[in-house]
Every structure is written in structure tokens, then in C-alpha cells.
Structure 1
Amino acid sequence: MSSGKKIWSAALLATAMLAATAACGSGSGESADGKIKLRFSYWGSGARQKMTDEAIAKFEAKNPTIDVEGEISDFPSYYDTLSTKVAAKDAPDIMALEIRALREYAERGTLADLAAKVNTADMDDKVLTTGVIDGKQYAIPSGVNAFSMVVNPGLAKQAKVTLPDDGSWTWEDFVELSSKVTSGSGGKVTGTQLTWNPAYLQIYAAQKGEQFYDGNKLGISPQTLKDWWVITQNLIKTKGSPAAAKSSEIYDVGIEETLIGTNTGATSMIWSNVLGAATKASGQTLELLRMPKIEGATTGGMFLQPAMFYTASSTSEHAAEAAKFIDFMVNDPEAGQIILSDRGLPANAKVLSAVSDKLPDADQKTMAFVDKIRGELVESPAAPPKGSSAMEDVIRRYTEEVVFGRMTPDEAAQKFIAEANAMLSG
């Protein structure tokens, strides 16, 4: 479930080396048969690898002078592996990145400017600009998603709990619903699984009228942090979530092992493109809901964010071919028919339209949900400052200090803000 906790651990050790790589070539070149060879680095499951290999084969059939070699790793090791390659002057030609890693790589000269090299005419400008750093289009969104609440209606019904009107429910309503599910099921099902994903805090802060980041520092007040932790404390206190120790134990598990995935939890906060995997894991009908709101808030704070970006190495020996592959992945309907929503709902509106009828039921729900809430969403946030890739680690650590009773919320808020600001200032 965690989506960014180890992004830059190895790269922090390789900072000086990363800065020196801009003038050096990537490890691409030519195949034994004289074809241009491109390397494409990405993370994911076996299912994603199968889709990607099929898309690569389609690209190669259309471009017979180019071979693309996929380099896949699991998410926990992805950024350590990638940063090691970059530091060793062996950067792949094409790299998948999250928004939290984008500025770090771009500002170290690792990425190429893709403006005018990839066709972006059919992409939402607001989403496209999330890949812009210092006026340069370093990244092209693969697809979009929204951090949302997923619910298992069947488990709620078994616990004799009525689902809320998600257009008006509050955080207090969420805590109450979670507690009722746990008690109504006799403890066989827990109301929710705790998360401390930065997107959750970002949404909550927006409801308070605050930005997560204000330049190279946090824009969140100590009071907002304390109020946010109260939700977690109340969930634990009312048994709407597992206790602190259990919540910490299951925090990093894959979707198949989460409470929602094992049908032992009725709700969870997830990125919307995970709905398909969660549905498959649970074998039950799941639905997406808006996130709860602070009572009286003028915005729900939800936003669209690229599920991932395609980027190209600034040192690639075949920059034009790398851009051509990215263009294919985001703009070609045949690629869209293969990838569907695995990397988020396609960012290209025409591709989304072309594949919409072929999307699985869960992804149809995701598409309908995003369409329903689109007019309520706040502007997609820009790439966060350098250092932010470790933010989830820091949030989790201080949250656990609070829920395990080792720090008061006041103390934790002050120390969290000080540490986060030091990290962001760099």
C-alpha cells in the first residue's frame, strides 16, 4: 500500500555522482543485429510485466529498427536500483517515476526535456503541468488517479451498517461508521485499515485551507497535524481500526494482504487505480467513495495525480527513439488497449475513449467515479520539493510516536515540522 517510502534512500548516498552523470552516456546502444537498443526501467507486478512486454512487442512491430528491453523490479527496491544505475552512469533510456521523485531527478540533470518531442495535444493541461519543472516538460503522465475511500458494501451490510452519503459525510461520520462495522460484525471485520499516506494528509490540509508544501517548506500548521492525528487516535480508541501495533505491522503489505483485500476490513484509503487489484484480491464488489470532509469545509481537497510518469534520460544515445517510445505508450490506442488502466486511467482523452468499453468492471467504476468528482477537484499539485520523497517515512514515524503514546501530539507536531522543513531545505 505504501507508495513512496524508499524513493531516494540510495540516491541520497549518490548525490554527488548523480550530478556528474549529465555529461555521460546511458547504457543503451545497438543490438547484435544492428538495431537501436532502448532500455525501459519500471516497477510492478508480473501482470504489469506481461502487459508491458506485449506493448513493447507492438511498438517493435511498428518500429522494426528499434529493440526495447524492459527492466522491471518490485516497488520497494525500484528507486534504490534505479539510482544506483544512474550513479554508475548507466541510466536507462526511459524511466518510470512517481511525482515525489520527479524534482529530485530533474534538478540533478538526469532527465531530458520532452517538450515538442512527445505529442501532448490530447492531455489535460492541468495534469500535464505536473510533469513540468522550472519550465521544462521532463515527464509525461501515464494516466491519472485520485486518492479515495474504497468500501466493501457487502461487509458493511453484514454488520448492519448503512453506507454514508459521501457527498456530505464528515471525519466523525467515518470514525463512527468504522466503529459500528467492527462491533456489528462481532470483531470478525474491522471498520478500516489505517494509512498515513501523504495524499491523505494533503487532502485533509486542503480542507483546512492549507497547502501541504509552501515552496521548500511545509505549509501545514501544527494544529492541522494534531487534528489529523485525532482521527487516527479515535479510530484506534473505538476499535474502528486495528490497534497501533497491528496497524504498523500491516502498513506495508501488498493489496492482497490488506484488510480490504482479505475481506477482513470494510474500508480503506487507496489510489483509485488500485480498485481493480483490490477487487480481484477480495473477490467481492467494491465501490469508491469521496473522502470525508471537515464539517463546514468549502472543498473536499481531492485531486487528480498521475499514477506515474514516463521520463527519458538526458544522456541517452537515442533520445529521439526514447521519445518515440514514450509517445507510443501514451498516445497510441493499440498501446492503450493493452495497458488499459494499469498505469492509471489513460491521460490521453482519445485513448481513454478508445479503451473505455474494454475496461474491466472495476476500472469502469473508477472512470465513472473520476468523471463524477472531476468538477469538485482542486488543482493537481505540482511536483513537490527535493527531499519530499522521504515524507511518508517521516509522517509514519511521528504518527507511530503519537499512537504508541511515546509523544504527545503537540510534541510530535513541532518535531515533525522541524524535521520535515530541514529535509526539504536540503
Structure 2
Amino acid sequence: MFNKLSRRAGSGVALTMAAALMLTACGGNGGGEAGGTPDPNEEVTLNFTWWGNEDRAERYNEAIALFEEQNPNIDVNGTFMDFPAYWEKRQTEAAGGGLPDVMQFDYSYLRQYGQNGLLMDLTEYVGNGLTTDTIEETLLATGKLEDQTLAVPTGYNAWSLFENPALIEQAGVEGYEGGTSWEDYEAYMANVSEAGDEIWGGTDYTGRIQNFELQLRQEGRELFTEDGQLNFTQEELAEFWASASDLRESDAVIPGRKLEEVAPKSGFGANLTASEMTWSNFMGGYLGDTGAEDLTILAPPTSDPSVKDLYQKPSMLHAVGAQTEHPEAAVALVDFLINSPEVGEIFGASLGVPASETALEGAALEGPELEVKEYLDSVSDRIGEPPAAPIVGYGALENTFLTLGTSIGLDAITPEEAAQQFFDEAAVTLGS
């Protein structure tokens, strides 16, 4: 059934939050009127928070200052922290009923917060304070849950394959063409690993749940059923992990022990592998890690070029807390952050390629950011409908998948044992 598939630790935290969220499943739109724009005579203070580093904070602070200049009656208190601490803080706030007015939001947590009424439904503001016709409908749908618009994507990316031309030249082999069969990609990795001195063609891609999802979508399937259960069998998962056994045993992919030595960098980031599959917005981070002057971004392998197996994933979204006392002002801030050409210029593609056409026009992408945009345009024929918002507990299962894949690469566990452990944990997480 399955071909063989790279390993790269995903950014995220495995937090179990359902119990805390259930404490405050009360929803509501605060004390404002439904729809419309904020009253320019009302003095308003909004709390806005995001995750990221100092560079992102400087950009957000610049955008906030511009928003306050255009809306002199609104003050915005901006705060930020790293990704794990950010969601720990939101968990605490959710339990106490005090989420911020506006939040940078992650796709993985949309269902966890949305189905418990912790996010304000923005539907009534669409076209009445919130402009969304600047965003492609399939991408806009990623912020919806059932009939509610709970968040708006600010940027997007898609699954991709990165290649380091300098390492390819050093190995003296041909680069990967991109978008060909899994067998072609495996042969490419083997050629690089055989020709290179302490350079491998890639990583064991069966360690990433996104590659498993990609192969399922190439078969016309999704990871989860409509009622939130696993849409594959334990035997199929074991087969998927076992499918890379030959690659691991022949050292066609970088050994797990070498990856442990360079962590938290990936093999690609440490200049040990010539290729790696991950989200397209990793371009900037990879350039920083590798020190390379140039990296190539290509379409990942496919078992059927006619299948729409890829999708536009929001790199992040913006949402409004259901308890906000200033819904119109909060929506105005979201609209500004999503659509303003000036904000597009401030951020470029550092939050993903801008989702809004107006923000994209202001971004004036060039260099590596333009390469990412051109890649996304090049795979448009493979872009299909996004999967439903991730199930509650997806982050925990993603982390378990990665941990078990790493253990397989270290020969600490067999694919069959790993599949059993994954299904055991999934049964607890999903309540099945």
C-alpha cells in the first residue's frame, strides 16, 4: 500500500486542554453591537498577544503603532512569548475565562477552543467591518468550524521539499527534479548518500505524520474520519513505518544517532542532508541554520500527479476572544493586521505568504520570500481542499508520531510495536 517516506521535528506542544476549556464554554460576543465598525469616540484598550521572537515583536509593534495612529481612540497592549509558553498561558486563561481580545492563533488549536465557545464567531462582521473577499475561499475555510468563522488566516504555506544545491554539487550527483514518484526520490537519496562524504540524501520521512497524511491524501483519504477517529488501521501504520526499513538499513537516509547529535537542528539545517520535507515557510529558518546562500524548494513526491494531495495550511491565524468587551474594535484590529498593505510591507512573508491580496501587494516579496511564493504558485494544480480543522488532541498525537518514528530510526522499537503504542495512545486521546 504505502511507498517509503523525512524526519523533521514539528514546532508545537502536546498539551491536553479539553478539561480546562470545558470550564468556560460559554461563548458570546461581549458587550458590543453585532457587526459594524468601532465608535471613534469611545476610548478602548485591547489586549493583543502573539508567539515569536524579538524580530516578530518589533514588526508587530510597528504595525500596532500604525493602527493606533489611524485609530487614535484605541490603545493596543501587545505581549508575546515563545510557542510552548504561549499555549500554556492560553490554557490558564481559558480555565479562568479571560482570553485576550485578539490572539495570534494556531490551526492545530482551532477546534479545541472553538467548539467550547471560547472564540468569537466573526461571521456577522464579514463584509461589515471585516474584509475577507481578499482571501482565497479554500484558505479562508481553514478558519471556519461548522457554520462559524472563528479565525482569519494571516499567511499560508504548503508541504514542500527543500534541497541544498551546495551539498548536491559537493556530492557530484544530479538534484531531485521535484514532484516525481516516491521511488525516484528514494533513488535520489541513495545516490547522494553513496556519493557524498558524511552527506546523506535525506532523512527518514516516515517520522513525520504530515508525510503519512500526504500519502493518504494521494489515495483520496484523510488522517481522520468526519467524526474525529483514525482513518487508517494499525496494520497500515506499521506498514508505512516499515516501508523505510531498506532506506534506514542501507544508510540511504541519515542515521538516527547522527540526528540526535545535531538536535535541535534537523539534519538538513546542520548541512548533513541534501534534502528534507517540511512546510514551505521554513525557508528563512533553514537559510539561517545552514548558512547557505541559496536553497531550492520543490514539490514533494507523489504516487499520482493528478491527485490534489497538497493544501494551503494557514501558517497562523488571528482570532478574537469570545469574552471581549470591545468586539468592533477587536475586529478592526484583525482586519488591519490581515488586509493592510502597510502591514504586508512590515512583515513580508515572515508570517507565511500573506493570505490577503491587499497585504500581498504591500509585501513586495523578493529573494527567498519570492521563491516561496513562486513555489506555492507552481504547485497550484496539486492544491486541494484542506482537511477539517484538527481534532482535539491532534498536537499530542503528532508529537507521539514523531517520538515513535525517532525511536524506530534508533532501532529502539519495531514498526509493529510503534503502531501498537500509537493506537493505544490514540484510543485514550480520542476516547475510542
TM range (shorter): 0.7 to 0.9
Say if 1:204 and 1:8 are closer, same or farther in 2 by CA, change over 3 A: same
2:203 matched to 1:203? no
Residue in 2 that maps onto 1:288: 297
After TM superposition, give the deviation of residue 15 of structure 1 in Å: 3.8
Give 1:24-43 correspondences, 5 Å limit.
35-43=43-51
2:159 matched to 1:147? yes
How many residue pairs align between the two structures?
408
Structure 1 residues without counterparts, runs of 5 or longer = 26-33
Residue in 2 that maps onto 1:395: 401
Q: 1 CA distance for matches of 2:366 and 2:243?
A: 34
Say if 1:416 and 1:6 are closer, same or farther in 2 by CA, change over 3 A: same
Residues 150 and 319, structure 2, Cα contact 8 Å, conserved in 1:
yes
Give 1:155-170 correspondences, 5 Å limit.
155-168=167-180, 170=181
Residues 27 and 119, structure 2, Cα contact 8 Å, conserved in 1:
no
Give 1:4-403 correspondences, 5 Å limit.
4-9=11-16, 11-12=17-18, 14-19=20-25, 35-117=43-125, 118-168=130-180, 170-187=181-198, 189-194=199-204, 196-215=207-226, 216-248=228-260, 253=264, 257-281=265-289, 282-294=291-303, 298-299=306-307, 301-355=309-363, 358-403=364-409
Q: 2 CA distance for matches of 1:300 and 1:155?
A: 31
Say if 1:324 and 1:389 are closer, same or farther in 2 by CA, change over 3 A: same
Report Cα offsets for 1:107-126 as digits up to 9, x if no partner.
Answer: 11110011142210111111
Superposed CA RMSD? 2.5
Residues 133 and 383, structure 1, Cα contact 8 Å, conserved in 2:
yes
Structure 2 residues without counterparts, runs of 5 or longer = 1-7, 32-41
Paired amino acid for 2:298? L
Q: 1 CA distance for matches of 2:253 and 2:310?
A: 23
Paired amino acid for 2:200? T
Deviates more, 1:171-180 or 1:386-395: 171-180
Residues 342 and 362, structure 2, Cα contact 8 Å, conserved in 1:
no
SS of match in other structure, 2:104? strand
After TM superposition, give the deviation of residue 269 of structure 1 in Å: 1.6
Say if 1:250 and 1:23 are closer, same or farther in 2 by CA, change over 3 A: farther
Q: 2 CA distance for matches of 1:425 and 1:380?
A: 24
Paired amino acid for 2:107? I
SS of match in other structure, 2:158? strand
Residues 154 and 351, structure 2, Cα contact 8 Å, conserved in 1:
yes
Residues 144 and 304, structure 1, Cα contact 8 Å, conserved in 2:
yes
After TM superposition, give the deviation of residue 54 of structure 1 in Å: 1.0
Deviates more, 1:79-88 or 1:220-229: 220-229
Residues 41 and 94, structure 1, Cα contact 8 Å, conserved in 2:
yes
After TM superposition, give the deviation of residue 21 of structure 1 in Å: 8.0
Paired amino acid for 1:8? L
Residues 47 and 100, structure 2, Cα contact 8 Å, conserved in 1:
yes
Name which of 389, 403, 416 aligns with 2:422.
416
Residues 201 and 274, structure 2, Cα contact 8 Å, conserved in 1:
yes
Deviates more, 1:271-280 or 1:325-334: 271-280
SS of match in other structure, 1:47? helix
After TM superposition, give the deviation of residue 212 of structure 1 in Å: 0.8
Q: 2 CA distance for matches of 1:403 and 1:18?
A: 42
Residues 259 and 266, structure 2, Cα contact 8 Å, conserved in 1:
no
What percent identity do the matched residue pairs reach?
A: 28
Q: 2 CA distance for matches of 1:45 and 1:221?
A: 40
Q: 2 CA distance for matches of 1:306 and 1:313?
A: 19
TM-score (norm: length of structure 1): 0.88
